[in-house]
Homo-oligomer: A and B are copies of this chain.
Amino acid sequence: MINESVSSKFVNFKKGLLICLSGPSGVGKGTIIEALKLAGTPLTHSISITTRQPRPGEIDNVSYYFRSREHFHELLETGEILEHDEYCGNLYGTPRAPIEALLAEGTDVIMDVTVPGSLETIVNFPDAISIFLLPPSFSELRRRLTNRGTESADVIEQRMKKAIYEVRQAAKFKYIIVNEDVNQTAKVIHHILDAERHRSERCIGIEDYILGR
């Protein structure tokens, strides 16, 4: 927010920010998002759209937007999907309209997507604040993946290979943070959001507003 008393009367400052957080598997995206929420940064997750069948307990428009393949393709063709992927024969994606609605009402939205999905988002939504998390080192990334205890040695090797490609995409993001300490990284993201709210392209019209007061 530029300043409470001015921003409360100036609509452009109140628009939310779309944050696209990415990085290799094991870098700690989930932990960072939890830390941001605990620190009081109000962030809403984007809801994905999928062509797969709902599982028991999943609610349409809450867990996912469950839609037909035809509908998904229509949205893709009209530019209504920011990023998408196919997994086990089902399409998954992030729809634009619900995000635009949240941003318009001043809500910040965070997308936690794959690296290719982030690159697609950067092209389709240039205003997104893309942040790439790097591990402090490759040996530390391996240690974190191993410590999870959920993946086999084979899967870990595959992840490490994929991570080489992923890390090489870092320069295509707006910001890069080496995630050494969760709280430090969360603080930097908080600072990035504050700085971004003050970028002049987000303050269009403020001069006339001030001149008229």
Q: A interface vs B, CB < 8 Å?
A: 2-3, 5-6, 132, 134-140, 164, 167-168, 170-178, 180-181, 184, 188, 190-192, 194-196, 198-201, 203-204, 206-207, 210-213
Contact = CB atoms under 8 A, between A and B. Distances in A.
A176 B191 contact: no
A167 B136 contact: no
Contact of A200 (B174, B180, B200): B174
A3 to B, nearest CB: 4
State the oligomeric state as a number of copies. Answer: 2
Contacts of A175: 195, 198-200
Closest 7 CB pairs between A and B? A137-B213, A195-B195, A191-B191, A191-B194, A192-B195, A3-B180, A176-B203
Given A176-B203, A190-B191, 16 more contacts: A2-B178, A3-B180, A5-B136, A134-B207, A134-B210, A135-B210, A139-B213, A167-B211, A168-B211, A171-B201, A175-B195, A175-B199, A176-B206, A188-B198, A191-B191, A195-B196
Nearest to A139: B213
A94 B3 CA distance: 32
A99 to B, nearest CB: 22
A5 B180 contact: yes
Nearest to A194: B191
A2 B140 CA distance: 17
Contact of A138 (B170, B188, B201, B210): B210
A171 to B, nearest CB: 5
Nearest to A195: B195
A213 B143 CA distance: 13
For A173, A177, A196, A200, the residue with the greatest tally of chain B CB atoms inside 10 Å of its CB is A200
A207 B136 contact: no
Contacts of A138: 210-213
Nearest to A184: B3
